[in-house]
Amino acid sequence: MTKPPESCLPEIEDDSTFYPEVWIQYPLSEALRPMHFGPLFKAKMEFIQVVSNFSSSIFGEKGLNTTKITSDSLKGHINRLREWFQKLPEPLRADRIVYPPHLKVQ
């Protein structure tokens, strides 16, 4: 893909119905627990955008290594990745994760 979709994903706070919740129940527990699907899905899509921008700048639009990446450009990509990581919602932070799909984000 050479450019992101024309419409952005809605913010979870603005349209929580866009992101359905997935509830799980562990065998030895009576309680249902939310998987925080909305934050997980949005974080994954934002990560894909960061990686896509980075790979486009390295390999160009046609997948050929036609451009050379500068150190400033590389720093910019690293900063965007750090910013994405720092903005992860609370259920996806390294000290709060519980579920296997959340581990994949880390």
End-to-end CA distance of the chain: 24
Distances (CA, A) of 44 to 20, 27, 75: 15, 28, 21
pLDDT at 67 over 70: no
Q: Tell me the average pLDDT across 94-103.
A: 82
Dump the DSSP string for 36-101.
-HHHHHHHHHHHHHHHHHHHHHHHTTTT---SPPPHHHHHHHHHHHHHHHHT--GGGSTTT--SHH
Q: Tell me the average pLDDT across 10-33.
A: 87
Going from N- to C-terminal start, the domains of the chain cover 39-105
pLDDT at 4 over 80: no
Look at residue 30 in the predicted model and tell me its pLDDT.
92
Query: Picking from 4-8, 66-70, 84-88, which range would have the lowest pLDDT averaged per residue?
Result: 66-70
Q: What are the tens digits of pLDDT across the range 69-90?
A: 788 888 999 999 999 999 998 8
